[in-house]
Structure 1
């Protein structure tokens, strides 16, 4: 059914389909309307005022941003009738937000700089006098060597990490660098440690991709030739330093001002980052050689420009539950203000799932979802890139409408595949077992765009069902262990780049998420990167992450005798 959307103050009237996303309608009608977070609901910059008409209900993300009627986030609302809306701030392009970051008391950052003037100091060894003056427990040998070069200047700065002096410098070093080393992308964030503000953020494709798209392929490359580990390690370090230089240049600062680096990632990526053999993760019992936290000078990690920075790598939990999952859990726990019975899901090729129980225990597991969610083994599958279709709708008349990144559609991203399957399920094109129905049963395929040959086949649906079964088996197992049902959950937090592009209603339709009301689902973006920033900002949160790593109870559903029956049951789309 057609509806009309009037957009003020431009007095533009746009025609749309009932149920269409409001942001998509405005974006094609008003030049300069920008969605900094890509319409994912975590930048909060597409706020509009609803003058008249009906829209879908407020989402969880809108509540996190404090949105109340008559205001809405355009990317979170769908039109249900003729609508009149007024735009708040067209063209306000800001830096892409990594995710929803909770507010914390900014008091004790992981690293700080303190001015030291040695004029008039008592007659005693300089190192002991400085330790007392800045109230630390000690000073590293490297820092003492720097002190011997600076002390005659009379005035200089000490650089403190937690309770020890790790450097002396002529100027304050008050930048922190947070890093999320993902299998596909490396994300970086520059934080001003003087006030806790994020100054800049960006990402690049992980250069390790030349050795394979997934972690198993990269492990195999190391098995074939141990030198490949060193090569992947070096290219990762170079990529991080390149990002840091870009960020410092963008904000008018220098790399020398970076005093501290916090790096998180999955266990395979962090093994490569540390240049530690990842091959034990490729065979039973799938545990890393190193899971404890690591710290030291950047030079010890083979950084050059960041050689004098202090690097901290949080612990991993187990084989496929890494420090990125700890970042997810930390971020979600603070956002939820300590609520219990909350589920945290970071959806990807390796999906990590955690559950906060009634007794405040944390249960965690991982699910080998496979490459389908990244476009792998899908006829028209592509990564989330320019030209990727990320949302699909089918009208009552059978017309296919879709949204895509860039200028020309080329295929279906993982979120586009989920959206299409959910819509085919709603319209009766397929049944809950994933089989084509009616006129589509003969060809066993459905065309999204016949002219561009963008199509989904029966085999594509089966590949998705395998991924869905792995993910839903994971969260159902955690609920079963905790003695809870989906109705008992107070919130579900969806993390990660993939999860950020999901339409929650689509994920619920196919059973990827627990069957709860949409206003209990919060899409919080790259919570792993946010977690790394939070650790940079708070010594207390660093201690909290290390405590969580020790106390999390890891559940391994695939080792149970009944798992295969359970997995097969979860192939059903419901």
Structure 2
């Protein structure tokens, strides 16, 4: 998801046809070039040092040149007309995954997409673990930054290779991420994020040359990190708001960006409140026995026949199944609950009349796909421990949603839209998400699966100077609410561990489904 923008990037190119005698009197190369640009209608330019270093060679051999200009500075001078080759990259620096889109800054077309796992996970899957590691010894912060930078540069290398673009032709990057990823990318010590009031080192938008950061695009290119909202709500959240247009909405809306750290926003054009909750990486495939990310072979949709209790599923790329991604996990919980295979506390019904339910070391398991059909050669199952892990994740998400609605003075039925972004591949069943009590109970047609809104918003900022200004204003205007200091959060969380909730009247849709639950146990 991402809204269209007028292509007006910060970086642009100016092609100049030069006279045979460029210099007048005692002019320098720099003066002659800037005068030629002014005669072409572009004045008040400044030359960067990297551009100055190119002048003698380029101007001694070419009568037409192309200037690359970024924010009033000439950052590159090339011989010939290269005005059609100008590229930028939008980056989502996720806790679990780094995602990049290579974009033409001439016409806005996305030319390539690539991603890689965030290698920092070896030092902790969640934000708090990485902060602890960063502060735990000399060199640890540098190690985290090195891992992140190497991953970013691998993504850039893949993007350029796929699109047939030289890294030196990429002049602009926009990188969004949560506040910790932002700090680690810049090499900023995150000690202030480890204690209340969790103040970041810097909150405003920041632009740095690629050379300073070590990012593998044109060394003189600009790397922009948009503004942050607060200690645990970063520029990825600002990108989410930009991509969905929630801040322009006339009707109240909710935005939930699901990840290891889930951000939740509630509001409309009159005002937005935001929070962050530690939902964990379960919906991204971690801590679940056969959990996987939304990759080829992942089961992404799942249904259980109420009569036979047989499982029907759909797989990404129609490959042999290798595991369940987040959307299938939500479907599985909903279908198992509707069909009496788990109770309201998520306990497996080991008396269910199906061979798919069986005892296991950690309290039982349900077979989603048999070994002879699986790409792994093993049964793909959901265990009792898996169910408990998923219920903790969904409870954190719903508790955050509930508190944000209350802070904004809203009821679920007043929401015109619920946007869901994040770790679910290309699909999320709204009815399943409501049935398990992960999202507030609203009609399914109001729930919009928005995909990776962080990279979509980063792309908008990359392509549009107006979107860049809007992002800065959004970060300033959002009201942040710190959940860890909210006395209501623990109660909301514990109540939300139930399916759908300890107060089931909040979920009339789930109650209607519950009334259709068959008798699937032996008497």
Shared topology, TM-score over 0.5?
yes
Correspondence for 2:126 among 214, 231, 249: 214
* Deviations 1:301-323 (CA, angstroms, capped at 9, x unpaired): 12355312221111111122111
TM-aligned CA deviation for residue 516 of structure 1? 1.2
What is the CA–CA distance in structure 2 between the aligned matches of 1:383 and 1:446, rounded to whole Å?
Answer: 21
* Deviations 1:490-535 (CA, angstroms, capped at 9, x unpaired): 1111112336443222112112112111111111211111111111
Does the 8 Å contact 1:447/1:453 carry over to 2?
A: no
Does the 8 Å contact 1:241/1:306 carry over to 2?
A: no
Going from structure 1 to structure 2, the CA distance change for 1:432 and 1:304 (only over 3 Å counts) comes to closer
List aligned pairs for 1:4-23, cutoff 5 A: none
Does the 8 Å contact 1:340/1:360 carry over to 2?
A: no
What is the CA–CA distance in structure 2 between the aligned matches of 1:538 and 1:560, rounded to whole Å?
Answer: 37
Partner of 2:75: 166
Does residue 1:315 correspond to 2:243, yes or no? no
Does residue 1:345 correspond to 2:256, yes or no? yes
- CA RMSD of the aligned region, Å? 2.8
Does the 8 Å contact 2:358/2:366 carry over to 1?
A: no
Does residue 1:227 correspond to 2:127, yes or no? no
Does residue 1:555 correspond to 2:505, yes or no? no
Going from structure 1 to structure 2, the CA distance change for 1:118 and 1:450 (only over 3 Å counts) comes to closer
Partner of 1:445: 364
Partner of 2:281: 371
SS in structure 1 at match of 2:223? strand
* Deviations 1:205-249 (CA, angstroms, capped at 9, x unpaired): 223333343333333332233323323323433333333333333
Partner of 1:465: 391
Partner of 1:390: 300
Partner of 2:438: 512
Does residue 1:295 correspond to 2:207, yes or no? yes
Does the 8 Å contact 2:301/2:327 carry over to 1?
A: yes
Partner of 1:5: none
List aligned pairs for 1:139-154, cutoff 5 A: 139-147=47-55, 149-152=57-60, 153-154=62-63
Partner of 2:11: 111
TM-aligned CA deviation for residue 543 of structure 1? 0.3
Partner of 2:510: none
Query: Which has the larger displacement, 145-154 or 254-263?
Result: 145-154
Query: Which has the larger displacement, 369-378 or 325-334?
Result: 369-378
What is the CA–CA distance in structure 2 between the aligned matches of 1:535 and 1:142, rounded to whole Å?
Answer: 25
Does the 8 Å contact 2:167/2:216 carry over to 1?
A: no
What is the CA–CA distance in structure 2 between the aligned matches of 1:236 and 1:557, rounded to whole Å?
Answer: 28
Correspondence for 1:328 among 240, 244, 255: 240
Query: Which has the larger displacement, 402-411 or 166-175?
Result: 402-411
Going from structure 1 to structure 2, the CA distance change for 1:240 and 1:454 (only over 3 Å counts) comes to closer
TM-score, with structure 1 as normaliser: 0.75
TM-aligned CA deviation for residue 408 of structure 1? 3.9
Partner of 1:134: 42
What is the CA–CA distance in structure 1 between the aligned matches of 2:32 and 2:266, rounded to whole Å?
Answer: 51
Does the 8 Å contact 1:346/1:499 carry over to 2?
A: no
Q: Tell me, which stretches of 5 or more residues in structure 2 are unaligned?
A: 372-377, 501-523
Partner of 2:509: none
TM-aligned CA deviation for residue 489 of structure 1? 0.9
Partner of 1:487: 413
List aligned pairs for 1:268-283, cutoff 5 A: 268-283=180-195
SS in structure 2 at match of 1:498? coil
What is the CA–CA distance in structure 1 between the aligned matches of 2:428 and 2:406, rounded to whole Å?
Answer: 26
Equivalenced residues, count: 472
What is the CA–CA distance in structure 2 between the aligned matches of 1:209 and 1:307, rounded to whole Å?
Answer: 28
Query: Which has the larger displacement, 176-185 or 159-168?
Result: 159-168
Going from structure 1 to structure 2, the CA distance change for 1:530 and 1:506 (only over 3 Å counts) comes to same
Does the 8 Å contact 2:284/2:423 carry over to 1?
A: no
* Deviations 1:406-451 (CA, angstroms, capped at 9, x unpaired): 7443443333222111001211222333334582599553422465
What is the CA–CA distance in structure 2 between the aligned matches of 1:118 and 1:311, rounded to whole Å?
Answer: 31
What is the CA–CA distance in structure 2 between the aligned matches of 1:200 and 1:432, rounded to whole Å?
Answer: 45
TM-aligned CA deviation for residue 143 of structure 1? 3.3
Going from structure 1 to structure 2, the CA distance change for 1:499 and 1:325 (only over 3 Å counts) comes to farther
Query: Which has the larger displacement, 245-254 or 544-553?
Result: 245-254
SS in structure 2 at match of 1:319? coil
TM-aligned CA deviation for residue 127 of structure 1? 6.4
What is the CA–CA distance in structure 2 between the aligned matches of 1:340 and 1:272, rounded to whole Å?
Answer: 37
Correspondence for 1:429 among 312, 335, 341: 341
What is the CA–CA distance in structure 1 between the aligned matches of 2:297 and 2:108, rounded to whole Å?
Answer: 36
TM-score, with structure 2 as normaliser: 0.82
Does residue 1:526 correspond to 2:452, yes or no? yes
What is the CA–CA distance in structure 2 between the aligned matches of 1:216 and 1:561, rounded to whole Å?
Answer: 21
Does the 8 Å contact 2:400/2:489 carry over to 1?
A: no
What is the CA–CA distance in structure 1 between the aligned matches of 2:169 and 2:237, rounded to whole Å?
Answer: 29
Partner of 1:101: 2
What is the CA–CA distance in structure 1 between the aligned matches of 2:88 and 2:294, rounded to whole Å?
Answer: 29
Does the 8 Å contact 1:389/1:413 carry over to 2?
A: yes
What is the CA–CA distance in structure 2 between the aligned matches of 1:143 and 1:339, rounded to whole Å?
Answer: 47
What is the CA–CA distance in structure 1 between the aligned matches of 2:289 and 2:156, rounded to whole Å?
Answer: 38
Partner of 2:66: 157
What is the CA–CA distance in structure 1 between the aligned matches of 2:295 and 2:124, rounded to whole Å?
Answer: 18
* Deviations 1:379-398 (CA, angstroms, capped at 9, x unpaired): 44444445543332211222
What is the CA–CA distance in structure 2 between the aligned matches of 1:350 and 1:311, rounded to whole Å?
Answer: 24
What is the CA–CA distance in structure 2 between the aligned matches of 1:568 and 1:385, rounded to whole Å?
Answer: 32
What is the CA–CA distance in structure 1 between the aligned matches of 2:152 and 2:483, rounded to whole Å?
Answer: 35
Partner of 2:518: none
Does the 8 Å contact 2:244/2:419 carry over to 1?
A: yes
